[in-house]
Amino acid sequence: MARSVAEIKKTMTDAFMADETIREKYGLSGRDTFNGSFSSVSLENILFFILAACYHVLEMMFDQHKADVDDTISKAVVASVPWYHKMALAFQWGDSLVLNENTLQYEYAVKDESRQVVKYAAVRDMGTNVQILVSGDTGGRPSALPDDVLTVFREYMNRVKVAGVILNISSRESDRLMIYATITADPLVFDEHGRLLRDGSKPVEEAIAEHLKNIVYGGTFNKTRLVDAIQCVEGVEDVELGLCYYRNSDGEDWMEVTGNNYSGMSGSYVADGLPNTLSYVVRD
């Protein structure tokens, strides 16, 4: 923000009066002030005023330039991955788009969060296209959008996207994981079926479910992080992770997770059959 002429002039005169050489040449003491030592019509006062006025005009020009640049940026579409993510979550079911004449972008006339049915979104730049995964929400978990909603969402994204960009949009049910593991547990805490002695709950199964739920939508299932989550359960002494399998909404057969990571097609994960795939070793 541009300073006033008086503020700029005071900054200069303060520096002027603080200079020992200046004070010596003018015969000034450290207690003297500029206004008390120089009249309003003195050459020094007039020169400082002219310089301050010039600096004031220059700062105002910089402020205006910054405002113009900010305005230009605000009207431009920066079609980055975060921008597509933001636009996906902004979709409003049943509302029409209007063209903003100032920004030349399509947008909703009124923002209505109650109509924003896309609750999860993940965007991946695949080089030749932009992949967008979206889901609704059912009971706090991602769920596939109905076909009619997905059709309208695709039309919405094709209107707001940058011209020439190819979008690959999908919405799927969560990838299923079958996890085999052997849990060595404290016999003072667990029974041989993985239940807590004090309340009958199954904390290992709960920890696995919570871990999968907390994987960022569109993220990767990692075996090491899964083992870490299980080992954090009270009473668990060791974890021997066996084979892991996955099945997405397109396939009927279970496929082995090779390597340490698996990136699902849906963006989210749930475990299948844990009571049958987890075994417990409880030694006295």
Mean pLDDT of the chain: 91
What percent of the chain has pLDDT above 70?
A: 97
What residue spans of the chain are helical by DSSP H? 5-18, 20-26, 34-37, 43-75, 81-89, 147-160, 203-214, 223-231, 274-277
Asked if 56 contacts 3 with a C-beta cutoff of 8 angstroms, the reply is yes
User: Residues 172-220: pLDDT tens digits?
Assistant: 999 999 999 999 999 999 999 999 999 999 999 999 999 999 999 999 9
Q: Is the pTM of this model over 0.75?
A: no
pLDDT of residue 284: 66
Position with higher pLDDT, 244 vs 72: 244
Burial 114-142 (b: 16+ CB within 10 A, else e): eeebbbbbbbbeeeeebbbbbbbeeeebb
- How high is the pLDDT of residue 255? 93
